[in-house]
Amino acid sequence: MSPILTLFRIIGAFVIFVIGETGRMGIFLAEVVFLIPFPPYLFGRVIKQINFIGVKTTLVILLTGTFTGMVLALQIYFTLSEFGAESRLGPIVALALIKELGPVICALMVTGRAGSALAAEIGIMRITEQIDALDTMALNPYKYLIIPNLIAGIISLPLLNFIFVFVGVWGGYAVGVGLMGLSSGTYFGSIRDFVDSADILEGLYKSLSFGILITWISCYKGYFTGYGAEGVSKSTTQAVVMSSVTILIWDYFLTSILVA
């Protein structure tokens, strides 16, 4: 076959694959969401998954949050001091954390820590035929595996986001007030002047949608994994890469919707 035809064949196969994959992921999410209202309700599983996705990421969030706030304050302080506008340090740090960095960095941390593990866990259950075993015992695998993760993601991500913003603002306080000698009243007073409930809601919507995105992609990649150890490793990688990229792309579009 001529090389030109081969090129078209590769492009065509890729496009068909992307469209098919999008469709399969959409059907997967639709089936899962459809099953949520019906019993059995596995609250124990949800709590276990909140513990896994949320609680065990808290330490990472505390560390990254504190240092993000600190480095933000450090960088911005020197820029602002050239204009004599140091008093605006608080609002810049707080708004950056509330609207952008909190939701996005939390989501990336959860992807790295929990998303990869979810994909690997479900993938190994698939290749060792444990999911088929669940089916044989008339336990719906969606009910038992996917839905608890989805709900745990929706609950955990906003909570992690709020913890991140809280420690981030205090990290910025430590640098701005403790190190640079800004007055404490200026820092918090100007934050109060500039932060609105709309900003906080924007962060909340973002982290809620990231919670769905991460668990959705990770569970999908694990649930429809390939064959053997190689298949699982491949789908784990894909889950992390795809979640991270989707988070940043989705963040842009959500911001443009919410800001308009």
Q: What is the CA radius of gyration of the chain?
A: 22
Contact (CB, 8 A) for 163 and 62: yes
Distance CA 39, CA 222 (A): 24
Residue span binding another protein (CB under 8 A) among the ranges 7-15, 33-41, 191-199, 229-237: 191-199
The two tokens of residue 89 are 């340090």
197 binds another protein (CB under 8 A): yes
Q: How far is 33 from 44, CA to CA, in rounded Å?
A: 19
Output the furthest CA–CA distance in the chain (Å, rounded). 74
Least CB distance to another protein at residue 190 (A)? 11
Is there binding between residue 47 and another protein (CB under 8 A)? yes
CB of 106 to another protein, least distance (A): 11
Amino acid found at 144 = Y
Our CB check for another protein shows the closer of 124 and 195 to be 195
Q: Which of 15, 48, 178, 229 binds another protein (CB under 8 A)?
A: 48
Residue from 13, 24, 192, 228 touching another protein (CB under 8 A): that is: 192
CB nearer to another protein: pick between 85 and 179? 85
DSSP code string of 9-23 = HHHHHHHHHHHHHHH
Q: State yes or no: residue 222 binds another protein (CB under 8 A).
A: no
Tell me if 163 contacts another protein by CB under 8 A: yes
The contact pattern for another protein, residues 75-114, with x = CB under 8 A and - = no contact, is: -------------------x---x----------------
Count of residues of this chain found to bind another protein when the rule CB under 8 A is applied:
26
Instruction: Give the H or E element holding residue 156.
Output: helix 147-173
Amino acid, single-letter form, for residue 209: S
Exposure on the CB side of residue 248, measured as CA atoms within 13 A:
8
- How many Cα neighbours within 13 Å face the side chain of 53? 36
165 counts as binding another protein under rule CB under 8 A: yes
Interaction of residue 58 with another protein, rule CB under 8 A: yes
| Residue 241 token pair | 């890469």
Tell me which residues touch another protein (CB under 8 A). 47-48, 50-51, 54-55, 58, 94, 98, 155, 158-160, 162-163, 165-166, 169, 188, 191-192, 195-197, 199-200
